[in-house]
């Protein structure tokens, strides 16, 4: 566990797409004393509407949204990466990378499967229900809108197209962020480059290896089961 903070200012922006080791990066930053926002926190915080409003209006109070955090990783934050870079100009940027083919395979086994359910009965009925909104806010709508519709233009099932979007994002981040503020990082690199970049001592425990594919698959199964039970 980690201690959240009420102090202003994100110090670290992790701008790699989901399924590039963002969960392990989140856990590592938490260990280093940098509470990290992640898609899972958006679920817990029921903040789907907040991010949808930021998307729909082009305005957001980032300091309030992230007041308990010092770092961000994964969607929905990556969707707003240009806004966050502008708002937090002193933040260091970590770009988690992965082979595009392996990235798409991981997406296919997790996010693509889950989000496909959002469009089909009975899951589409559940996620639009009062019960779902009471439990999770507008998380499903937020995740689908920001990732599937806006980032991949409803073509996540097109491997070639999705990989090109992936590559274009990484090229743009590298173009925009000055080299002295950017760390290109793979989970296999471990603690040293990460800690050197952030000016943190290397922890005595192994670098986190957070593979949440099985958790995603359990979530898919649970979502299908509870949807049929609900209807």
Is 40 in contact with 77 (CB distance < 8 Å)? no
pLDDT class of 46 with cuts at 50, 70, 90: confident
> What confidence score (pLDDT) does residue 132 get?
66
Is pLDDT above 60 for 134? Answer: no
Provide mean pLDDT across the span 174-184.
97
Provide mean pLDDT across the span 135-161.
91
- Lowest-confidence segment of 43-47, 92-96, 125-129, 154-158 by average pLDDT: 125-129
Is pLDDT above 60 for 6? Answer: no
pLDDT in tens, 167-176: 999 999 999 9
Which value, in Å, is the radius of gyration of the alpha carbons in the chain? 17
- Residue 169: burial class (beta carbons within 10 Å; 0-12, 13-18, 19+): middle
> What confidence score (pLDDT) does residue 133 get?
65
Is pLDDT above 90 for 26? Answer: yes
Is pLDDT above 70 for 50? Answer: yes
Is pLDDT above 90 for 122? Answer: no
Is 191 in contact with 205 (CB distance < 8 Å)? no
> What confidence score (pLDDT) does residue 137 get?
63
Q: Are strands 71-72 and 12-14 parallel, antiparallel or unpaired?
A: parallel
Report how far residue 194's alpha carbon sits from residue 176's, in angstroms, rounded to the nearest whole number: 20
Mean pLDDT rounded to a whole number for the chain: 89
> What confidence score (pLDDT) does residue 1 get?
39
> What confidence score (pLDDT) does residue 58 get?
96
Report how far residue 173's alpha carbon sits from residue 132's, in angstroms, rounded to the nearest whole number: 35
188 vs 225, higher pLDDT: 188
The closest alpha carbon to 140, from 87, 86, 71, 75, belongs to 75
21 vs 117, higher pLDDT: 21
Percentage of residues in the chain having pLDDT higher than 70? 83
Adjacent-strand bridge partners of 13: 72, 93
Provide mean pLDDT across the span 150-168.
97
pLDDT in tens, 183-223: 999 999 999 999 999 999 999 999 998 866 777 677 667 67
């Amino acid at each position: 566990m980690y201690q959240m903070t009420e102090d202003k200012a994100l110090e670290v922006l992790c701008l790699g797409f989901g399924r590039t080791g963002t969960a392990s990066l989140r856990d590592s930053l938490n260990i280093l004393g940098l509470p990290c926002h992640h898609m899972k926190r958006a679920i817990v915080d029921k903040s789907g509407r907040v991010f949808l409003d930021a998307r729909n209006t082009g305005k957001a109070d980032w300091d309030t949204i992230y007041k308990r955090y010092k770092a961000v990783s994964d969607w929905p934050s990556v969707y707003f990466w240009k806004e966050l870079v502008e708002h937090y100009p002193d933040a260091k940027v970590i770009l988690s990378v992965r082979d595009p083919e392996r990235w798409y395979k991981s997406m296919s086994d997790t996010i693509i499967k889950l989000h496909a359910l959002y469009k089909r009965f009975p899951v589409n009925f559940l996620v639009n229900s009062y019960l779902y909104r009471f439990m999770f806010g507008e998380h499903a709508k937020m995740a689908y809108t920001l990732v599937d519709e806006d980032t991949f233009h409803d073509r996540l099932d097109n491997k070639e197209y999705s990989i090109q979007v992936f590559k274009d994002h990484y090229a743009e981040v590298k173009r925009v962020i000055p080299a002295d503020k950017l760390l290109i990082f793979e989970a296999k690199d471990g603690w040293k480059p990460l800690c050197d970049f952030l000016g943190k001592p290397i922890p005595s425990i192994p670098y986190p290896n957070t593979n949440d594919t099985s958790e995603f698959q359990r979530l898919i199964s649970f979502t299908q089961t509870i949807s049929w039970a609900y209807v």
